[in-house]
Chain A
Amino acid sequence: MSQFSTQIQESLLSQFADSKYELDIYKEHNFTFSVTDIHAAMAYLKSEGFIFLTDLTGSHYPENPGAEFQVVYHIHNLSENVRFRLKVNLSQDNMHIPTVTDLFSSANWMERETFDFFGILFDGHPNLSRILNVDDMDYHPMKKEYALEDETRVDKDDTFFGR
């Protein structure tokens, strides 16, 4: 691990009391932040040269009560070549998280996508609407609460396919 990433890691853990750090088996740096800290943490990292938001996505863990949803940020410092992964756990009763579009313009569409598929609400987003699915869809399809084979679907006709 480089001296730079150790220094940033220590600074983050001292600034944000609720944060946790973990080095996973692939030697990737994983941080967990609370909803209230994430925007400040991202702002601090951006000021330290993490100027590239590689990815922003969500995931659903229905087996974790109180932390069913997770928002994951992948952030990259291009000059030091250090990559951090930031996670925020959300309860399904409160799906709100502050937007980071004011820091990273690329977060705009990625937050819309995360909203589209998981229903996570990014407070302060300039236009939080569906981006990939049809506009009149009334559910968030990547939530693990739908059966893989939906017997009630009316749009498919298997008569000639023997499925």
Chain B
Amino acid sequence: MVKIVGAPEGIEGQGFFATSFDKVIGMARANSLWPLPFATSCCGIEFMATMGANYDLARFGSERMSFSPRQSDLLIVAGTISKKLGPVLKQVYDQMAEPKWVLSVGACASSGGIFDTYSVLQGIDHVIPVDVYVPGCPPRPEQIIEGILKIQELARNESLRRRDSPEYRKMLESYNIQ
């Protein structure tokens, strides 16, 4: 049986259906996230399992991995990011078009993990804003799927004007972006 997403809340009548752009665009975005995998280590292997047939991320509308930042909506950072890689990650984030989300997979991306050392970035949120953190070292594919579902929830419920709001601008400025 093919399972498709139901219509959002709205007013229905004979021959018409009315709803708000917020809901219908949010629904479309949430169910067709194009992820950009930024995988550097073992969390990347778990992410590959997530993409594979057993766990099958494609069920959630994310089967299209985009290796070009300009065409992706969701940056999935899976693995240790060294301080030298920090500017590269930031550049990738800069190149993505709005709206964009970031999923930090695993202890290293979220906090530096076991690499409590001079050469490793102690969490990617030092360089780019993060929407959802997935704990684990490495997290199981189920946890990564849970993280993507949380991102979907954010995308579905996001107001269309959020990215123009002064709070959002201020947040980007605090990361020295744009």
Query: Complex Cα distance A155/B119, Å?
Result: 11
On chain B, the residues within 8 Å of A163 by CB distance are 116
For A163, give the chain B residue with the smallest CB separation. B116
For B83, give the chain A residue with the smallest CB separation. A134
Task: List the count of A-B residue pairs having beta carbons below 8 Å apart.
Answer: 23
Which has the most chain A C-beta neighbours within 10 Å: B112, B116, B121, B126?
B116
A interface residues (Cβ-Cβ under 8 A, vs B): 132-134, 141, 150, 155-157, 160-161, 163
Which has the most chain B C-beta neighbours within 10 Å: A132, A133, A155, A160?
A155
Assuming the contacts A133-B84, A156-B112, A161-B111, asked whether A141 and B122 have C-beta atoms less than 8 A apart, the reply is: no
Q: Are A133 and B126 in contact (CB under 8 A)?
A: no
Q: Are B122 and A157 in contact (CB under 8 A)?
A: yes
Q: Are B122 and A133 in contact (CB under 8 A)?
A: no
Query: Complex Cα distance A141/B84, Å?
Result: 15
Q: Are A133 and B116 in contact (CB under 8 A)?
A: no
- B123 interface hit (Cβ, 8 Å): yes
Q: Are A141 and B119 in contact (CB under 8 A)?
A: yes
Q: How many residues of B contact A (CB 8 A)?
A: 11
- Segment 98-112 of B: residues with Cβ below 8 Å from A: 111-112
- B21 interface hit (Cβ, 8 Å): no
Which has the most chain B C-beta neighbours within 10 Å: A133, A141, A156?
A156
**19 residue pairs bridging A and B, Cβ less than 8 Å apart:** A132-B119, A133-B83, A133-B84, A133-B119, A134-B83, A134-B84, A134-B119, A141-B118, A141-B119, A150-B118, A155-B121, A155-B122, A156-B112, A156-B116, A156-B122, A157-B111, A157-B123, A161-B111, A163-B116
On chain B, the residues within 8 Å of A134 by CB distance are 83-84, 119
Q: Contacts A134-B83, A157-B122 known; list 9 others, CB within 8 Å.
A: A133-B83, A141-B119, A150-B118, A156-B112, A156-B116, A156-B122, A157-B123, A160-B111, A163-B116
Query: Complex Cα distance A156/B83, Å?
Result: 13
For B122, give the chain A residue with the smallest CB separation. A156
Please give the distance in Å from B149's CB to the nearest CB on chain A.
23
For B118, give the chain A residue with the smallest CB separation. A141
On chain A, the residues within 8 Å of B123 by CB distance are 157
On chain A, the residues within 8 Å of B84 by CB distance are 132-134
Q: Kindly supply a per-residue 1/0 record for chain B positions 76-89, scoring 1 wherever the CB is within 8 Å of any chain A CB and 0 otherwise.
A: 00000001100000
For B123, give the chain A residue with the smallest CB separation. A157
For B116, give the chain A residue with the smallest CB separation. A156
On chain A, the residues within 8 Å of B126 by CB distance are 155
On chain B, the residues within 8 Å of A150 by CB distance are 118
On chain B, the residues within 8 Å of A156 by CB distance are 112, 116, 122
